[in-house]
A and B are shown apart, each in its own frame.
Chain A
Amino acid sequence: MTDTAIAASALGKRFGRRGGWALRDCTFRLPAGRVCAVVGPNGAGKSTLLALAAGLLGATEGELTVLGTTPAGARARIGYVAQDKPLYPQLTVAETLRMGADLNPGHWDAAAAERITAAGDLDPKSRVRALSGGQRTRVALALALGKRPELLLLDEPMADLDPLARHELMGVLMVQAAQHGTTIAMSSHVVAELEDSCDHLLLIGGGRVRLAGEIDDLLTAHARVAVPADTDLAPHTVVESRTTGRQLSALVRPAGPLPDDWHAATPSLEELVLAHLRNPEAPVLTPAEEAVA
């Protein structure tokens, strides 16, 4: 058992020999037991990162350690749900779960898997091809959770769920994380979707890690300030600043205590994420990595 679920160092993935880099120079550490939001705009490299961690792709460069071993070595201990929730359409719900049991001998929790499908009022005898998008998500999650994974990788898991099902399935995931200590990494481009449930953030933009760390640490490391337009913000690191008339609003990383008249406030997660995405030149911040180093 290791206290690190995923550790990447200088990880890069390029598709084809002359293709562009989907992911480059990614260094971060996800401690075990966390619920991690993998956030970034569409095409940022979130899916590539999750597929690398699931052992579906080989890295082009760098190192990736999952649960203390290689992604492929951890295959039996990882649950993965791809973005489009692929399932065999010709199988019934019950058959799909039975397949999960047969393909994961020794570590299949049939009761847990059936609980998830039963909670969605899914007829075990209905074919996967007849299910709605949300129902398919439920079956795909049941298949991934039935495996009793130590690490659960979910690529846009809630995208095609109605708010009610989203809330309920998020609850299922949180219970899983709390009861079994499962590390969960789930991607989304909707930050608000993950804000309440996640305690760790991995912000990816343009194929690189922009922010990585505990959400609380990241939020307290930043401040939203409102100052007169001619104020010099040095020595604090400015992530984003905007001047409106004589007013300067900025998101800064304080290098020390901020003057009281700067009206400093803790930003919301969404503000933090958007500020970093709008300003790709803002320096990368990975507190966890620094703490380890």
Chain B
Amino acid sequence: MTALSAPAPAARPRLTGWLLRLHRPALYVWTALVLLTAALLLLLHGPMADAAAESWRRYDACGFDTTCAYGQSAILRYKDWYNYATLAAALVPFLTAAWAGGALLGKELESGTARLSWTQSSTPVRWLAVRLAAPAVLVTAGTGLLAWLHYLAWTAGRGRIDSAKDWYDIGTFHTSGPVLVALSLAGLAAGALAGLLWRRTLPALASGLLLTAVIWGVHLELLPHLWPTLGRSGHGYVASPSGSWTVSHGGNAARYHVTYHPYAHYWPLQLTATAVLLTVTALLTVGCFVVLRRLTGKAATR
């Protein structure tokens, strides 16, 4: 056994392993959040949706009989827990942003441990790349699973449970497809940028959250216009078809028109919104590296 304990001179510094070690509590919390929400979504998809659907079937069978027992509690249970699951999934982009801004980068830059890492044998650029890539993989895996299960839980109720959410419900739309993944990645990049800009934990945490909220808000404004709407017009009041998302309506008694997205636009809207959000994420990521380069000069890359 010689004094040199390292295996081979060409071995690469193992940054990812140590990143996971340093943020082990966050990793545990993330795993727990994903597993619990996933379990809840599986329950919603299976037994809870079935029970609520059965209650709705009995309710419809009851007709006008007010004394008829149809099991309202199953309906309410499905509705409540569905909302909790949606909320948990919808909060992920914000949780990611707060963590990335505060714990992942703000704290390291504030306490100087970033400099400690930069004076080991790998470059600041690689340091940042690992700090963005590893969480991005975990966030993608976790939110991907949640979005898929949420979509299943929602479709399990669609058409069977009268109180199930519409496809264009803000919570449901944003947690039942790749949009959730893209929003979470945008939150990660926004938090990281805030951390690099502030180099302090609390301001970075707060502005990471704020930036993510702004992205979310602008995205909500743009969402209906990301795919061409259908339109109807005519004399008197014209309604959009049942189950479609009314984007605009107006006019006068002579001519009334309405624009809407039918359910068929669900995936086109999901995919274009995802593409837009991923572009924003890419820009924020480039911003992160630009700021890092400004911090460390030309030294960043070599």
Q: Which A residues fall within an 8 A CB radius of B? A: 51, 54-59, 70-73, 75-76, 78-80, 82, 84, 86-88, 90-91, 95, 99-112, 143-144, 147
Task: For residue A92, give the distance in angstroms from its CB to the closest CB of chain B.
Answer: 11
Asked if B299 and A57 sit within 8 Å, CB to CB, the answer is: yes
**Cβ of A96 to closest chain B Cβ, rounded Å:** 10
Complex interface: chain B residues within 8 A of A103 (CB): 13-15, 18, 117, 120-122
Contact with A along B13-45 (1 / 0, CB 8 A): 111011001101000000000000000000000
Contact of B17 with A102 in the complex, beta carbons under 8 Å: yes
Residues of A within 8 A of B3 (CB): 109-112
Do A104 and B298 touch across chains, with their CB atoms under 8 A apart?
A: no
In the complex, what's the smallest C-beta–C-beta distance from A104 to chain B, in angstroms? 5
Nearest-Cβ distance from residue B290 to partner chain A, whole angstroms: 13
Residues of B within 8 A of A101 (CB): 5-6
CB <8 Å contact, B111 and A86: yes
Q: Which residue from B8, B15, B22, B118 sits with its C-beta under 8 Å from A90?
A: B22
Q: Could you jot down 10 A-B contacts, CB within 8 Å?
A: A57-B295, A57-B299, A70-B302, A72-B302, A87-B113, A101-B6, A104-B13, A106-B9, A107-B121, A147-B121
Q: Which residues of B contact A72 (CB under 8 A)?
A: 123, 298-302
CB–CB B299/A102 < 8 A? no
Of A80, A91, A106, chain B has the most CB atoms within 10 Å of the CB of A106
Q: Does B7 contact A (CB under 8 A)?
A: yes
B115 within 8 A of A: yes
B5 touches A56 (CB 8 A): no
**With A82-B115, A86-B115 known to touch, is A104 a contact of B6 (CB < 8 Å)?**
yes
CA of A228 to CA of B17, assembled, Å: 72
The reply to whether A108 and B5 contact each other, CB–CB distance below 8 Å, is yes
Whether B297 sits at the interface, judged by CB under 8 Å, is yes
A104 and B121: CB pair below 8 A? yes
Q: How far is the CA of A76 from the CA of B122 in the complex (A)?
A: 8
Q: Is the interface of A mostly helix, strand, loop or mixed?
A: loop
Q: Determine the chain A residues whose CB is within 8 A of the CB of B4 once the complex forms.
A: 107-110
* Contact residues in B for A144 (Cβ distance below 8 Å): 119
- Of chain A, the residue at the smallest CB distance from B23 is A90
Residue on B nearest A103 in the bound complex, by CB:
B120
* Residue in B closest to A54 when the chains form the complex, CB atoms: B119
User: CB < 8 Å: which of B15, B22, B116, B297 contacts A57?
Assistant: B297
Query: When chains A and B are docked, how far (Å) is the Cα of A73 from the Cα of B301?
Result: 10
The verdict on B264 contacting chain A, using a C-beta distance below 8 Å, is no
What are the 8 closest A-B residue pairs judged by CB atoms, nearest first?
A: A58-B297, A86-B112, A106-B9, A72-B299, A105-B11, A103-B120, A110-B5, A80-B119
Chain B, residues 51-63, CB within 8 Å of chain A (1/0): the string is 0000000000000
Say whether, besides A87-B113, A111-B3, A75 and B119 are in contact (CB < 8 Å): yes
B297: chain A residues within 8 A (beta carbon): 57-59
Task: Give A51 to B116 CA distance when docked, in angstroms.
Answer: 11
B22–A56 contact, CB under 8 A?
A: no
| B10 at interface, CB cutoff 8 A | yes
Beyond A55-B119, A103-B15, 14 additional pairs, beta carbon < 8 A = A56-B115, A58-B296, A72-B298, A72-B299, A82-B115, A91-B21, A103-B14, A103-B122, A105-B8, A105-B13, A105-B121, A107-B4, A107-B9, A143-B116
